[in-house]
Amino acid sequence: MWYAIIAEDHDNSLERRMAARPAHLERIEGLKRQGRVLVAGPFPAVDAEDPAAAGFTGSLMVNPGTGFCVREKPLLPAIQRLGSSSA
């Protein structure tokens, strides 16, 4: 079974999101290689390839029901920093 994790960003979180992005992408790619993430990505605030200052409203991550835990130390702080309401 696959699970969708949907996280909502806090208002005005674009600067923090962009600062965390390189390490976040590296972590997600590692999870993909391990088969622990099927797909992940942001929700742009506007319909554009680069939402620029409009930023993002949240993120989606699709994970298998086994071998994945949101409580992992490397992942949970990143979710909390971005202001997830679903952590």
Q: Under 8 Å CB-to-CB from 73, ≥6 apart: which residues? A: none
Closest CA to 17 of 48, 51, 56, 54: 56
pLDDT in tens, the chain (87 residues): 888 889 999 888 899 999 999 999 999 999 999 988 999 999 999 998 888 888 999 999 998 876 555 555 444 555 555 554 444
- Interatomic CA distance for residues 37 and 62, integer angstroms: 6
Residue 86 has a pLDDT of: 44
- Interatomic CA distance for residues 56 and 11, integer angstroms: 9
Residue 53 has a pLDDT of: 87
- State pTM to two decimals: 0.66
Domains of the chain: 2-81 (3.30.70.1060)
